[in-house]
Structure 1
Amino acid sequence: NRTVTNIASGGVVTACVYTGAKQELAADAVVLVTSRNQDDAIWRELKARENEWAGNGIRSVKVIGDAEAPGPIAWATYAGHRFARELDEADIGDALPFRREVTALALD
Structure 2
Amino acid sequence: MAREIILDTETTGFDPKTGDRLVEIGCIEVVDFMPTGRSFHEYCDPLRDMPAEAQKVHGLSSEFLTGKPKFHEIADRFIEFVGDSPLIAHNAAFDRSFVNFELEK
Tell whether the structures are fold-level matches, with TM greater than 0.5.
Answer: no
In terms of Rg, which structure is larger?
1
Which has the larger helix fraction?
2
TM-score, length of structure 1 as denominator length? 0.20
- The structure with higher relative contact order (CA 8 Å, sep 6+) is 2
TM-score, length of structure 2 as denominator length? 0.21
